Protein backbone atom coordinates (compact mmCIF):
# COMPACT_ATOMS: atom_id res chain seq x y z
CA UNK A 1 0.00 0.00 0.00
CA UNK A 2 1.21 3.47 -0.83
CA UNK A 3 -0.03 6.75 0.62
CA UNK A 4 -1.05 9.20 -2.07
CA UNK A 5 -2.10 12.80 -1.96
CA UNK A 6 -5.11 13.79 -3.94
CA UNK A 7 -7.55 16.65 -4.00
CA UNK A 8 -9.87 14.55 -1.86
CA UNK A 9 -7.57 14.25 1.14
CA UNK A 10 -5.05 11.66 2.20
CA UNK A 11 -5.66 8.43 0.37
CA UNK A 12 -4.33 4.95 0.76
CA UNK A 13 -3.78 3.23 -2.56
CA UNK A 14 -3.74 -0.53 -2.64
CA UNK A 15 -2.89 -2.70 -5.62
CA UNK A 16 -5.11 -5.72 -5.17
CA UNK A 17 -4.86 -9.16 -6.69
CA UNK A 18 -7.34 -8.20 -9.39
CA UNK A 19 -4.75 -5.82 -10.88
CA UNK A 20 -6.66 -2.61 -10.14
CA UNK A 21 -5.75 0.22 -7.81
CA UNK A 22 -8.28 0.81 -5.05
CA UNK A 23 -8.38 4.11 -3.18
CA UNK A 24 -9.38 4.18 0.46
CA UNK A 25 -9.84 7.50 2.21
CA UNK A 26 -7.87 7.83 5.45
CA UNK A 27 -9.01 11.37 6.19
CA UNK A 28 -11.26 13.94 4.52
CA UNK A 29 -8.71 16.65 5.31
CA UNK A 30 -6.50 17.88 2.49
CA UNK A 31 -2.91 17.25 3.72
CA UNK A 32 -1.52 20.43 2.13
CA UNK A 33 -4.15 22.58 3.86
CA UNK A 34 -3.44 20.76 7.12
CA UNK A 35 0.28 21.48 6.71
CA UNK A 36 -0.44 25.16 6.02
CA UNK A 37 -2.72 25.60 9.04
CA UNK A 38 -0.35 23.76 11.36
CA UNK A 39 2.43 26.16 10.30
CA UNK A 40 0.17 29.18 10.92
CA UNK A 41 -0.81 27.93 14.37
CA UNK A 42 2.83 27.11 15.17
CA UNK A 43 3.95 30.63 14.22
CA UNK A 44 1.32 32.30 16.37
CA UNK A 45 1.75 30.03 19.41
CA UNK A 46 5.55 30.28 19.28
CA UNK A 47 5.58 33.97 20.29
CA UNK A 48 4.28 33.70 23.89
CA UNK A 49 6.19 30.46 24.46
CA UNK A 50 9.46 32.06 23.35
CA UNK A 51 8.76 35.17 25.45
CA UNK A 52 8.14 33.01 28.53
CA UNK A 53 11.35 31.06 27.89
CA UNK A 54 13.32 34.28 27.52
CA UNK A 55 11.93 35.61 30.81
CA UNK A 56 12.91 32.40 32.58
CA UNK A 57 16.45 32.12 31.24
CA UNK A 58 17.23 35.77 31.93
CA UNK A 59 16.35 35.56 35.67
CA UNK A 60 19.23 34.90 37.99
CA UNK A 61 17.02 33.71 40.88
CA UNK A 62 15.31 31.13 38.63
CA UNK A 63 18.27 29.79 36.67
CA UNK A 64 21.12 30.30 39.13
CA UNK A 65 24.48 29.73 37.47
CA UNK A 66 22.70 28.60 34.29
CA UNK A 67 21.35 32.08 33.53
CA UNK A 68 21.61 32.94 29.86
CA UNK A 69 24.54 35.05 28.72
CA UNK A 70 23.78 38.57 27.50
CA UNK A 71 24.42 37.70 23.86
CA UNK A 72 22.17 34.64 24.05
CA UNK A 73 19.37 36.59 25.74
CA UNK A 74 19.70 39.43 23.22
CA UNK A 75 19.53 37.06 20.26
CA UNK A 76 16.59 35.25 21.83
CA UNK A 77 14.62 38.48 22.26
CA UNK A 78 15.47 39.50 18.69
CA UNK A 79 14.17 36.18 17.38
CA UNK A 80 11.02 36.57 19.50
CA UNK A 81 10.46 40.09 18.15
CA UNK A 82 10.94 38.93 14.54
CA UNK A 83 8.45 36.09 14.94
CA UNK A 84 5.98 38.44 16.67
CA UNK A 85 6.32 40.96 13.82
CA UNK A 86 5.76 38.19 11.27
CA UNK A 87 2.61 37.04 13.10
CA UNK A 88 1.26 40.61 13.27
CA UNK A 89 2.06 41.15 9.58
CA UNK A 90 0.33 37.91 8.67
CA UNK A 91 -2.88 39.02 10.37
CA UNK A 92 -2.57 42.58 9.01
CA UNK A 93 -2.26 41.42 5.38
CA UNK A 94 -4.46 38.32 5.62
CA UNK A 95 -7.24 39.45 3.27
CA UNK A 96 -5.05 41.42 0.82
| pLDDT tens, residue by residue, 49-69 | 999 999 999 999 999 999 999
Contact 90, 40 (CB under 8 A): yes
Residues in the chain: 96
The pTM of the full predicted model, rounded to 2 decimals, is 0.68
* Residues 66-75: contacts with CB under 8 Å, at least 24 apart: none
Mean pLDDT of 66-81: 96
Amino acid sequence: MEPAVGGEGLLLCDHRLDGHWHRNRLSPIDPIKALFWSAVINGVVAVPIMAAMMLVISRQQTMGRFTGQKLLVSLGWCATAIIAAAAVAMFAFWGS
